[in-house]
Each structure stands twice: as structure tokens, then as C-alpha cells.
């Protein structure tokens, strides 16, 4: 993204945050950065505003890290964002460079990536793009629009915690029919891993990396948390509060469960 476009995007996000009364001050950002960094990647149809409830859920759950949100830079660019493989790869490299700058300043703080739908593909691309000595903590994929046979080895080599795939078999329209017709983020015309899960062991070159990989299937008990089993459930406050946020709180434990 060009500098002018980056500036305009930042101003727009800051203005929206101020309107909501939630714009952090510079000192608050500095304190958050000492706690950690979370990059969020929305689906291809939405910008930062699409993840408003998710960010609010993270804060209410006790997440203290700074939260940054990727913007594709193409308003209403649903299919353009989905199909722009080369552009998405370039954006991933740019974000990886920003993560490196953060790591130099904060060598011990956790860095997490959270991707929703098409943003799950972006999260994987960013994980692959960071230098291997820039360690990531957790990478959470929320019904990612990436192919089930995608090889996750390069991403897993940069993760000290867990890469977790949260998938929902009932997501037949967007990640079944949709990705079969228009393709996944890695340009495969199949039902996505966000619907059917990743195919093991095809995702791994090195079985040792499997210790850093988990999949969690949607179950009906999540209806009470706000996720009805289809695609938009990943955007709800309750589901993010109870399912995603526990992987991100500062005092989380290895299993991803909140401490009592």
C-alpha cells in the first residue's frame, strides 16, 4: 500500500475509534505493546470494522496486547481481495517486516496472529513470511478460506505455541460452494479447511511440527456462545470471548484455557 493510502487508512480507523470513544492514547499503545502484539486479519469482504465485536471480546476477556487489524485497501473488494494472490503475498511480507521491527523493540513479548475466513489465509502467509528467528506464539485460524491440503510446515516452523484451526462443517455456502466456485486464498477450487479441516498428514513435511498444530470442530454447544455453525458465527462477540480470546490473554496456559 502506498504511503498516502496508508495514512488515509490510519486516519479513517482512528476517526472511527474516536467516534466509538475507544481510541487508545499513545501511552496506552506503548503499554499494550509491552504486553504483546496481536495482528487480526478480517475476511475478504470486510475491513477493521467487521472485527469490532471480536476486538471488544478480547478486551473484555483480559487481553492486554496491542491489537492491529489488516486492511486489504480495496473497499467492497470481495472477489478482488480473494483472488489477489500476489498482492496478498506482498502485503504479508510488509506485515512481516513490521513484526520484525516490533520484535527488535520487544524481544520477549508474545506475537499472535488471528485470521477470519480469507484472513485465515493471510495469517498463514504472514507466518510464512516472518524470519524464522522471529518467533510467533499462537496463530488462530477462524474458519479459514485456505485449501485443506495446504502445507503448513513453513508457518509451523515459526510458531512456538500452537497453530489452531477452528472449522465448521456446516459452513457449506461460503467455504463449500463459495470457495469451490471462486477459489480459496491459495487459489484452489475446493471446500476450504475452514469447513472440512486440514488434511493430515499432507499438511506437514516434518511430523515433529505436528506438536504445534490443533484442529477444533464446531459443535452444537457453541450455539449458546453465538456461533450457529455457519460462516458469520466467527464474528460474534460471545464466540470470540469464549473460543478465541482464551488463546490470547497474557496469563494463558498451554492448553489455551483461561486461568481460574
Kindly report the CATH number assigned to the domain that includes residue 205.
3.40.50.1820
Asked, for residue 40, whether it belongs to a domain, the answer is: yes
Asked, for residue 11, whether it belongs to a domain, the answer is: no
Tell me the whole-structure pTM to 2 decimals.
0.85
Residue 155 lies in domain: 25-247
Asked, for residue 253, whether it belongs to a domain, the answer is: no
Asked, for residue 12, whether it belongs to a domain, the answer is: no
Asked, for residue 2, whether it belongs to a domain, the answer is: no
pLDDT in 10s for each residue of the chain, 260 residues: 444 544 444 444 444 444 444 556 778 888 899 999 999 999 987 778 889 999 999 999 999 999 999 988 766 667 788 888 999 999 999 999 999 999 999 999 999 999 999 999 999 999 999 998 999 999 999 999 999 999 999 999 999 999 999 999 999 999 999 999 999 999 999 999 999 999 976 677 777 888 999 999 999 999 999 999 999 999 999 999 999 999 998 554 343 443 32
**Structure confidence at residue 23 (pLDDT):** 59
**Structure confidence at residue 18 (pLDDT):** 41
Distance in angstroms between the alpha carbons of the first and the last residue of the chain: 43
Asked, for residue 57, whether it belongs to a domain, the answer is: yes
**Structure confidence at residue 212 (pLDDT):** 93
Asked, for residue 87, whether it belongs to a domain, the answer is: yes
Q: How far apart are CA 117 and CA 140, in angstroms?
A: 11
* Number of structural domains the chain divides into: 1
Amino acid at each position: 500500500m502506498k504511503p498516502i493510502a496508508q495514512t488515509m487508512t490510519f486516519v479513517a480507523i482512528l476517526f472511527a475509534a474516536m467516534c466509538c470513544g475507544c481510541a487508545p492514547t499513545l501511552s496506552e499503545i506503548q503499554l499494550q505493546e509491552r504486553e504483546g502484539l496481536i495482528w487480526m486479519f478480517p475476511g475478504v469482504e470486510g475491513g477493521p470494522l467487521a472485527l469490532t465485536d471480536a476486538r471488544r471480546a478480547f478486551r473484555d476477556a483480559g487481553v492486554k496486547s496491542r491489537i492491529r487489524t489488516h486492511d486489504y485497501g480495496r473497499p467492497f473488494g470481495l472477489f478482488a481481495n480473494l483472488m489477489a494472490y500476489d498482492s496478498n503475498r506482498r502485503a504479508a511480507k510488509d506485515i512481516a517486516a513490521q513484526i520484525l521491527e516490533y520484535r527488535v523493540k520487544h524481544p520477549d513479548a508474545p506475537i499472535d496472529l488471528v485470521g477470519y475466513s480469507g484472513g485465515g489465509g493471510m495469517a498463514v502467509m504472514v507466518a510464512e513470511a516472518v524470519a524464522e528467528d522471529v518467533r510467533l506464539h499462537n496463530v488462530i485460524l477462524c474458519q479459514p478460506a485456505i485449501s485443506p491440503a495446504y502445507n503448513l510446515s513453513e508457518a509451523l516452523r515459526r510458531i512456538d505455541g500452537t497453530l489452531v484451526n477452528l472449522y465448521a462443517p456446516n459452513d457449506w455456502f461460503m467455504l463449500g460452494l463459495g470457495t469451490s466456485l471462486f477459489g480459496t486464498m491459495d487459489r484452489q477450487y475446493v471446500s476450504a479447511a475452514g469447513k472440512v479441516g486440514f488434511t493430515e498428514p499432507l499438511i506437514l513435511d516434518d511430523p515433529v511440527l505436528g506438536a504445534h498444530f490443533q484442529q477444533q470442530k464446531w459443535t452444537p454447544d457453541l450455539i449458546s456462545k453465538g456461533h450457529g455453525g455457519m460462516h458469520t458465527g466467527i464474528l460474534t462477540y460471545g464466540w470470540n470471548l469464549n473460543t478465541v480470546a482464551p488463546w490470547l490473554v497474557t496469563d494463558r496456559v498451554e492448553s489455551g484455557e483461561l486461568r481460574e
